[in-house]
Amino acid sequence: MALSIQTDRLSLRVLEEQDASFILELLTDPDWLKYIGDRGVHNLEDARRYIDEGPRAMYRNKGYCLLRVSLKENDQPIGLCGLLKRDNLPHPDLGFAFLPVGRGAGYAREAADAVLANADEQGLETLMAFCVPDNQPSIRLLEKAGFYYAGPYQFAEGEDSLSLYRRDCPMHAAS
């Protein structure tokens, strides 16, 4: 899998099977469970299945996916950031989640900016994002990255309402 993005401090790449222990740690982190939800990843086998059927399958089908974010200096994985395409949204959406060790140092913003620059280069004209309405750190990141509030959103009837955000590619918005 070829997609790789470098920033000053970070390396972003497609997840591989050997990232299963990192995925298990991230997807069982209390903040992941609070803001994103239980994805049924409770052991290494579940984590390997998540990698293969989630991000790697999306990359094979769409050419983009959630990417493993690691520190350049030591290749320590600290989070995920990338694009997803969901059946119930008209455009790809930006997703991100970081372990506690990766929070508070600007890594999420750096990774998001790199993913968005790559999306702009690929000609993706509109991107979406969503978050739990009280997730202020994610809202701040989205607004700083050029997203604006587009309204409430529910994936399915009866589910909690989320805040939906939208970003139009600066290269296309000017034309």
- List pLDDT tens digits, range 87-139: 888 999 999 999 999 999 999 999 999 999 999 998 899 999 999 999 999 99
CA distance 5 to 23: 19
Which residues, other chains included, contact 11 with Cβ-Cβ below 8 Å and sequence gap of 6+? 4, 5, 69, 70, 71, 72, 75
Contact yes or no for 99/84 (Cβ under 8 A): no
pLDDT of amino acid 171? 60
CA distance 131 to 84: 14
- List pLDDT tens digits, range 47-92: 999 999 999 999 999 999 999 999 999 999 999 999 999 988 899 9
Domains of the chain with bracketed CATH: 4-173 (3.40.630.30)
- List pLDDT tens digits, range 136-159: 999 999 999 999 999 999 887 878
List of E strands, 37-137? 66-71, 77-84, 93-98, 126-131
CA distance 74 to 91: 34
Task: Report the Cα–Cα distance between both ends of the chain, in Å, rounded.
Answer: 33
For residue 152, the Cα-to-chain-centroid distance in whole angstroms is 19
User: Rounded to two decimals, what is the model's pTM?
Assistant: 0.92
- What is the DSSP-derived secondary structure letter of residue 90? S
Token pair for residue 125?
A: 């004209």
Mean pLDDT calculated for residue range 21-37: 95
